[in-house]
Chains A and B, each alone.
Chain A
């Protein structure tokens, strides 16, 4: 790499999938480009580079974010989770398994972003966050039923041009049911109904 003036780059450490990565980055480098071009973590995809498609979605401190609109230098100190970090060893995350089993994708390019988004959607919903599709938004109402409409609304930041939305929504519902059942949560049945209705 050609030398660049020190005023335009910084040495940073990124905490990605539980591992620390020390690197020096151009201040203009987005988190997305740092992942893809500097750290060879190419699972995070670049679809538009303008925050419009969701393909580059990662989890920052557990919340979803489009990594193309984050500067790498500003991601220091954050806990970054990418698609490479969501499975437990050889065991796929329930969302990954549901996408695989239900064919929740076609070309696969939007898939890592859809999966990262879905993981956060299930957590956001379980935590009682309302969405534009929620009927009763009072805090005491608790999590709304996880209907197909709720999933569609919450996943709408992730475009899929192949048109795999129907099976993606089914996969998110199934994964939510699996997670709810594992957690002994009584929302599992609603989520199973959502898969059937999606």
Chain B
């Protein structure tokens, strides 16, 4: 075994953390041998196909199962009259369950695409044909899917903090300001669309419920299923080894519940996979937002008053708020500071967490407004942010654990060539293209949640780490290998990491940019204690020596601070005023996001977030038809996500920013990459054309009708 160990303070450093490593499962992924949830073979497997409602509101009058049951291969049709009952009266890991997942419990239809039946057959072809042939009669009621800012039924709703936070006299602050920006911004309904559709196979094996699933946390999904089906948690086993993307959409969903019901009824393995089209109503999504930002400043750009209010929508059966007014509580201070999140309930599916929930749409509005303020004040937008850099949390008054936003702007400005920028809009041309550059700030909360881990010293000198992490493409499996190797003073090839299995013990989900931090913490504690045990030189028995950890107490003891990752986004765009086409020519993001465990995969993740930002700025938009209550073009042709040809050279890098209170120094990088990215693009479009685009996406028709320096 080769070890090269030095110790810096309490932090072990022997070179794995901070050095680029290719993914430990990389070979399996490039050769096609990595098996995802729908790809594990089972004997006697039956295939379930969901049938979804075609009306947006009403009652199911009848389900004509007879014809369908007579079709070849059909085994059963589950619906609200015959499906097993579930219990939704509990509080789970993320609160009360969304009834959207508790399928077939009643005859109410709360939105288009609500699951009304599951058809199970011997083959997927038979199940699909039968599900498409299934006739369901509805008692249709008038529906309301009209989302607009003037809804009288909108109400304030808490989410990750109070709905409303206010200090100072807003109206007085605005009135006393030399410069005021007052603008409304909108963002559309957006869908996660992980490349791997949601897939679950359920079966009963020796009195245990076995579920092979694609999710962001098997601890979470197993506990939800145990609650729903009133099972002893120990009798539910959920596995999720490889996950083809999640972005917030892969939690408890209708497909797992339907698969468990069918496996229970048929007493054989049943697989249910969402189709791409079904994902648009079953997998959750980001609510559209309408946001108003008011900024009042002195002539030198110093803020006196800040008001950010956001309206999003939720379903009639569950409350979820896209808390877009949140970023202002961290980013900028003003004597008068007011932020509010409101929702309106409509006959639509329940929205959910989607990469940087709140921060992604909120930063578009706030960071666009800050750019508008810079323009009005005649101050460089970076200099304006420098003048408004708060020393403490603007609303909480708490100190920041570290805040290296300005270091990001300095480094980014240097590398992007910002100093040479002429601030005047509409001046630069390259043939038919108008050129412009823009910038925006980014932040995302740095969080850790309790997790457990077990680390075993094997008799052969290797180590086995068991931690119920989920690698949804983040590189968590590899990051944890590196963290464990350093903590154990060994090399990554001596460490095996097992993840994605609820039997490994409770752990945080892959979410909130907190997965790798939370799991690493648990691995560190177990590994360090194991190393102390090994130092006693008592020898390793054949079964190895295992140390377990639980970070609940350590995380509970963290002092109250403002803990966030930060970043500075830069974009250069080209706009064709004749066609309205916007092309991003290059992007740069510099982040202060804690210790970077694996530079290779971290860069990928940050660039991925920025790619989402471009996609959000220019492409993504799910359009709901008010007449039917459903979507136009609910697929990857109708809902365009950025493709190869949309994405230019993107660079992501970071400045030193080690979290002093984390055993590894991690903050989290999963979400900060998208934050501010759309604003940087929109600000660059203004710089190119002289026109502010306050509605996303910046479609060619919007560019054309907005006019500008053509």
Contacts and interface: CB of A to CB of B under 8 A. Distances in A.
Interface in A97-116: 97, 99-101, 103, 105-112, 115
A139 B26 CA distance: 39
A106 B645 contact: no
Given A26-B125, A48-B276, A110-B195, A103 B601 contact: yes
Given A43-B33, A159-B636, A162-B608, 11 more contacts: A28-B129, A42-B32, A52-B276, A53-B636, A107-B245, A109-B194, A109-B244, A153-B644, A159-B195, A164-B604, A165-B647
Nearest to B26: A100
12 contacts: A45-B36, A83-B32, A84-B31, A100-B22, A100-B27, A106-B604, A107-B244, A109-B196, A159-B636, A161-B641, A163-B608, A163-B642
A40 B645 contact: no
Interface in B563-614: 600-601, 603-605, 607-612
A5 interface: yes
Interface string A20-53: 0000001011000100110011111111111011
Interface in A40-68: 40-50, 52-53, 55
A50 B644 contact: no
Contacts of A169: 644
Nearest to B647: A165
A191 interface: no
Given A4-B72, A28-B129, A49-B276, A42 B242 contact: no
B472 interface: yes
Contacts of A84: 31-33
Interface residues of B, number: 65
Interface string B55-88: 0000000000000000011000000000000000
Most-contacted residue by chain A among B72, B195, B607 (CB, 10 A): B195
B219 to A, nearest CB: 20
Interface string A150-166: 01110110111111111
Given A4-B72, A44-B32, A109-B195, A165 B649 contact: no
B402 to A, nearest CB: 27
A152 B643 CA distance: 8
A181 B276 CA distance: 41
A161 B195 contact: yes
Contacts of A41: 32
Interface centre among A2, A47, A106, A110 (most CB of B within 10 A): A106
Interface of B: 22-23, 25-27, 29-36, 38-39, 41, 72-73, 122-126, 129, 192-197, 242-245, 247, 273, 275-276, 472-475, 600-601, 603-605, 607-612, 615, 635-637, 641-645, 647, 649-650
A82 B4 CA distance: 43
Nearest to A101: B22
A106 B73 contact: no
A115 B30 CA distance: 8
B124 A33 contact: yes
Given A84-B32, A165-B644, A26 B123 contact: yes
Nearest to B123: A26
Interface of A: 1-2, 4-5, 8, 26, 28-29, 33, 36-37, 40-50, 52-53, 55, 82-84, 87, 92, 96-97, 99-101, 103, 105-112, 115, 133, 148, 151-153, 155-156, 158-169, 197-198
Contact of A43 (B32, B195, B609, B636): B32
B647 A152 contact: yes
A108 B473 contact: yes
B32 A168 contact: no
A118 to B, nearest CB: 11
A115 B26 CA distance: 13
A36 B645 CA distance: 29
A82 B32 CA distance: 9
Contacts of A5: 72
A82 B53 CA distance: 37
Q: Give the interface centre of B27, B275, B643 by most chain A CB atoms within 10 Å.
A: B643
A97 B30 CA distance: 8
Nearest to B247: A161
Nearest to B23: A103
Contact of B197 (A43, A47, A92): A47
Nearest to B29: A108
Contacts of B611: 163, 165-166
B426 to A, nearest CB: 26
Contacts of A52: 276, 635-637
Contacts of A44: 32
B604 A92 contact: no
A36 B124 CA distance: 12
Contact of B636 (A40, A48, A133): A48
Contacts of A197: 649
Contact of B30 (A106, A111, A148): A111
